[in-house]
Amino acid sequence: MDALGYYIFYAFYRLITLLPLRVLYILSDFLFLCLCYFPTYRRKIVETNLRNSFPDKSEHELKKIRNGYYRHMADIIVESLKAGTMSRAELEERITYSGFETVDRIFEEKRDVVAVLGHYNNWEMALMLGQHIRHKTIAIYRPLKNVHFDRIINKTRSKYGIVLSPMSMVLKEILKSRSNNINTLTLFLSDQTPPKHEIKFWTRFLNQDTPVFTGAEKIAAKYDMAVVFLNISKIKRGYYNISIELLFDHSAGLPEHAITEAHVRRLEEIIKENPEYWLWSHRRWKHKKPAADA
């Protein structure tokens, strides 16, 4: 059944990606209605997350953000499907870059970089970094249970030079590169929810107690890597800018959780600027902080 589902999806996927993006945006407009109104997709989760994150906003303001989120999510779905078959030239027309001189300097110093980003705007566009970072770029991903779907996702995401690594293998991948004198930039999605048994650190994020992965900080501090924030901003529909912002030039010796707090605060800032572009349908706050830690 897994294989059958894969082949049905793949046939649909290939058919969809033959269409130009301007036509796919018409599909996106229809998809928005399905996501937001009928049958809806995690609408109660989205509304609860928004209400808890912005208690000072009116119901009218929250509804506007909710609708903007679903419109944006529909666009991300069709853009991500289409990106797998778009040429490098087509993608380059839609993405601009800034701040990359920062990592160029760090690589000239023969040092590695940890890059942190969130599920903000079209985070899949970060996969184009493999064409613009002069050294090895590693992206951490969670393997899918269905090996057929996992294969197509990996093929799409690694198309432009990104090296994909499960979280359990990323340190091994970095150390192997270091032993061969290969500098790396490793991408960490910072706003995923840790499994309950792996929670080591809580902070306040969007007005709520929030558990945060600390892997980026631990790896960066252990090897004195530079830490940057990857800010993906939306210029207009289908067009993005990827900006690299330096958080720490050196990370060894910093106070515990300083790096984690820094990238959490930066993500919070950009979400508050344009909240409709963050992944509100994610169950980010499914774990509650134990009373003993409050």
The pLDDT score that the predictor gives to residue 8 is 74
Coil, strand or helix at 198: helix
222: left (phi over 0), alpha (psi -120 to 50) or beta: alpha
**135 neighbors 185 (Cβ within 8 angstroms):** yes
Question: Model confidence at 38, in pLDDT bands (50, 70, 90)?
Answer: very high
Tell me the mean pLDDT in the region 180-208. 94
Tell me the mean pLDDT in the region 71-95. 88
Look up residue 290 and give its amino acid.
P
Residue 228 has pLDDT above 90, yes or no: yes
pTM of the model as a whole: 0.92
Tokens encoding 283: 């169950």
Residue 108 CB neighbours (<10 A)? 10
Interior angle at CA 123, CA 119 and CA 127, nearest 5: 140
Residue 276 has pLDDT above 60, yes or no: yes
Q: Please provide the average confidence, as pLDDT, over all residues in the chain.
A: 90
CA distance 82 to 75: 11
What percent of the chain is predicted at pLDDT more than 70?
95
The pLDDT score that the predictor gives to residue 81 is 83
The pLDDT score that the predictor gives to residue 199 is 95
The pLDDT score that the predictor gives to residue 293 is 58
Structure confidence by residue, pLDDT tens digits, 130-146: 778 878 999 988 777 76
- Tell me which residue of 252, 281, 247 sits closest to 264, measured CA to CA: 247
Q: What's the CA dihedral at 253, 258, 263, 269 to 10 degrees?
A: -140
The pLDDT score that the predictor gives to residue 294 is 53
Residue 1 has pLDDT above 90, yes or no: no
The pLDDT score that the predictor gives to residue 162 is 86
Look up residue 64 and give its amino acid.
K
The pLDDT score that the predictor gives to residue 266 is 98
CA distance 177 to 57: 48
Residue 121 has pLDDT above 90, yes or no: yes
